[in-house]
Each structure stands twice: as structure tokens, then as C-alpha cells.
Amino acid sequence: MKKIFLIALIGFLASNTGFAQKKKKYEKIFYSEVTKDMGPVTVTISNGVATDAYIKFKFTVRNNTGDYILLKTDDIIFNANGKEIKNTEKDLLIGPNDDDYRVIDMKGGDLQVENFSLEVKGLSKVPAKAKSEDAENFKLPVAKNEFDAGPFHVLQLKNEKKTDLVAVKFTATYNGSKIGIVNPGSASLLTPKGTEFANMGTKGQRKPFLLKKGQEDNFTLYWRDIPVSNGDMQFANVEVIWNDTYVEANPELIPATTIDVAMDHGLTDAKGR
């Protein structure tokens, strides 16, 4: 009888030990931050989190050069357990010696993995000193609503001229076969006195953006409290000078790399249940 009881006890303990060794199940898995130096850029993967239905993380690119960096997000490829997923986030242009990020959010099934790798092959360097396209001055009051600057077609959407404010909204379409860069921060305003004033929009409004063939995007130029002869910008004849606003360039591919990302066990135990 004792022998039978002992055998049963051993079986019970073995089955419970096996149960305890099974993989823990979490509602969410969190991942450790990873940084990788790729020479022209430094890439950081942070704030990673996954459920069965999605895996999401912040993909930050630090530009270590004096050129632009183009990130094609559909060339960031998730790999785990034989599963390969691309994402559809918007491409990103990072200015010289600057940094920016995209939140990559990939959808699917069975994505709660302890380890995964990212194949990163969508980074290119775009020369900042590429020749800009000539563009005629844009006159206010408006003499002509649209014009071409090389492969760019630019259309004025609306403008506002007040005593203390000039604001003009444009849309630019790129019709070339390379990469089009529009840099609103390069534009300036010419007053009747012959004085130029740089675009006074916020940093985000002055930020360059990229266009691929057939793409278009909007931007607005701002000037405030500009001194003119009668003190009233509403009635002054002013002109937008484009300088280096419109640039076409050939991207130079940065060699691809693979980044391995692992589960943060401590953070997952604390927050993942």
C-alpha cells in the first residue's frame, strides 16, 4: 500500500514540476532597448511591446552626418519563428546631425515572441548639398498661382496678408525619378526695401520633407511683424525668394544590418500580466 502511495506521489510531483516549467503566459511582453551604430547613423529600438495580435516599438535614427538620411520603413522587416512581416509606416527624412523616429506597429497573429530580429535595409544618405532647382520669386499680391521648379510643380492654395502677418500655403508635387526634397526653411521674404527675412514658421513647419515620383505634400510659410515702409504688410508688395527650397538628389544606400531584440524579463514580470 505504501509502495502504491509513493508511486502516486512521485507521479503527482513530476506532473506539477512539468507544469511549472511550461512557458509563462503574459498579456504583454516587453523588450529591452537596443542601440546599434551603423556608421552614418545610430539606430535605437525602444519601448518594444507585443501581444499575440501586434508587436510595436519605437525606431529612432540618429543622423551622424551633414547630409540627409532617408528611412524607407517598408524595408524594416520583422523576423521570428519563420515569420516575416513588413510594415506600412510613412517614410522618414532626418536632417543633418539630427534625429527622428517612427513608431513601428506590425499586425498579425502569434506575435508574442521572446526574441526577434529586425532586418534594416531601408536607410540611405541623401546629399544635402545637391544642386537646388531654380524657382521664380512668388509675388504677393499674387500675380501667378502656380509654377515649376525643375521636376517640382508648385501650386498656391491660399494666402493671408495682414498688418502683422504674411502666411502662404502651397502644395508641391515631385515628377522626377530620383528623390525630391522640399525645405520650407530655406525660403525668405523680400520687402520693398530690399531686405530679406527667413521663414518664421515653427521648427516643424520649416522641416524638410521628401517626395517620391508622383507624390505631393503641403507646406505653409509664415512671417510676422516684418518692418515695411508704411508699417502695414497687408498693403506691401512682397516676394517669396525660394533659395534652396527645391532639391533633387540620388540616395546612396547604407549597408543593411540585422538587429536582435530580446525580452526584458524583469519588466515583463512586473507589467506583462
Residues 6+ positions from 77 with CB-CB distance below 8 Å: 84, 85, 86, 118, 119, 121
DSSP characters over 60-121: EEEE-SSSEEEE-GGGEEEEETTEEE---PPPEEE-TT-EEEEEEEEE-SS---SEEEEEE-
Average pLDDT score over residue span 141-161:
95
pLDDT on residue 24? 57
Portion of the chain with pLDDT greater than 70, in percent = 90
pLDDT level of residue 9 (50, 70, 90 thresholds): very low
Architecture of domain 138-249: Sandwich (2.60)
Residue 51 to residue 35: CA distance in whole angstroms: 23
pLDDT in tens, 78-110: 998 888 888 778 888 898 999 999 999 988 888
Name the residue type at position 26: Y
pLDDT in tens, 49-83: 999 889 999 999 999 999 999 998 888 999 988 88
pLDDT on residue 19? 38
| CATH homologous superfamily, domain 29-127+252-271 | C2 domain (2.60.40.150)
Name the residue type at position 11: G
Average pLDDT over the chain, rounded to whole? 88
pLDDT in tens, 196-248: 999 998 888 898 888 989 999 999 999 998 887 766 778 889 999 999 999 99
pLDDT on residue 112? 87
pLDDT on residue 129? 80
pLDDT on residue 25? 77
Average pLDDT score over residue span 137-151:
95
Residues 6+ positions from 240 with CB-CB distance below 8 Å: 137, 138, 140, 168, 187, 188, 189, 190, 221
Bridging pattern class, strands 179-182 and 209-211: antiparallel
Topology match between the domains 29-127+252-271 and 138-249: yes
- Please state, as a whole number, how many other Cβ atoms lie within 10 Å of the Cβ of residue 173: 17
> Contact, 75 vs 25, CB < 8 A?
no
Residue 261 to residue 257: CA distance in whole angstroms: 13
Under DSSP, the state recorded for 230 is T
Under DSSP, the state recorded for 242 is -
Domain ranges of the chain: 29-127+252-271, 138-249
Among the residue ranges 14-23, 92-101, 247-256, the one predicted with the least confidence is 14-23
Most confident option among 16-20, 205-209, 222-226, 256-260 = 256-260
